[in-house]
């Protein structure tokens, strides 16, 4: 049972426009949501995160929106640049009251292609 879903395997966006990557989850107990970016032949790198108690977090060109009632989050990239072409993974984490946590649960990824 997939708890974190990225239903679009790929997305093509023109340079300068907004890229919107979507992610849905099923476990309402997740406490944090994170986005990772991955280039070929490299490991994923952390991009931005959001706590479940917030609905928006912004860092430069990247903004993550969280809609808890819909169990949906999205990553907005504005404006999109050629270097943004990569695979983007959505991930979720549950933290327990003792301070421990399960590992990150990842979606399958969305390949973003920025066209010139």
- Is 68 a binding residue for other proteins by CB under 8 A? The answer is no
Closer residue to other proteins (CB): 93 or 113: 93
- Is 34 a binding residue for other proteins by CB under 8 A? The answer is yes
Among 12, 14, 27, 45, interactor with other proteins by CB under 8 A: 45
DSSP string for 57-93: EEETTEEEEEETTTTEEEEEESS--GGG-EEEEEEEE
Closer residue to other proteins (CB): 11 or 95: 95
Enumerate residues 6+ apart whose C-beta is below 8 A from 100.
none
- Is 86 a binding residue for other proteins by CB under 8 A? The answer is no
């Amino acid at each position: 049972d997939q708890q974190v879903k990225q239903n679009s395997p790929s997305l093509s966006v023109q340079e300068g426009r907004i890229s919107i990557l979507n992610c849905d989850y099923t476990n309402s107990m997740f406490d944090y949501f994170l986005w990772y970016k991955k280039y070929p032949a490299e490991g994923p790198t952390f991009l931005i995160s959001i706590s479940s108690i917030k609905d928006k977090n912004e860092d430069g060109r990247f903004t993550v929106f969280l809609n808890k009632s819909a169990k949906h989050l999205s990553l907005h990239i504005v404006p999109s640049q050629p270097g943004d072409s990569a695979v983007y993974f959505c991930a979720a984490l549950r933290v327990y009251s003792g301070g421990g946590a399960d590992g990150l649960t990842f979606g399958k990824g969305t390949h973003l292609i920025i066209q010139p």
